[in-house]
Amino acid sequence: MSLAERYHRSVLPTHRQYEYLLSLHRFIERHHCAPALRELAVVLGVKSLTAVVDALDGLEAKGMIRRPVKKPRAMYITEAGKNFLIMMESS
Spatial CA neighbour of 60 closest among 37, 38, 39, 81 = 81
What angle, rounded to 10 degrees, do the helices at 49-61 and 15-31 form?
A: 100
Q: How far apart are CA 4 and CA 46, in angstroms?
A: 33
- Residue 67 is predicted with a pLDDT of 93
List, in order of start, the domains of the chain with CATH numbers.
13-90 (1.10.10.10)
Q: What residue ranges of the chain have pLDDT lower than 70?
A: 1-10
Q: pLDDT tens digits for 65-83?
A: 999 988 878 899 999 999 9
Q: Taking a C-beta distance cutoff of 8 angstroms, is the pair 37, 53 a contact?
A: yes
pTM of the model: 0.83
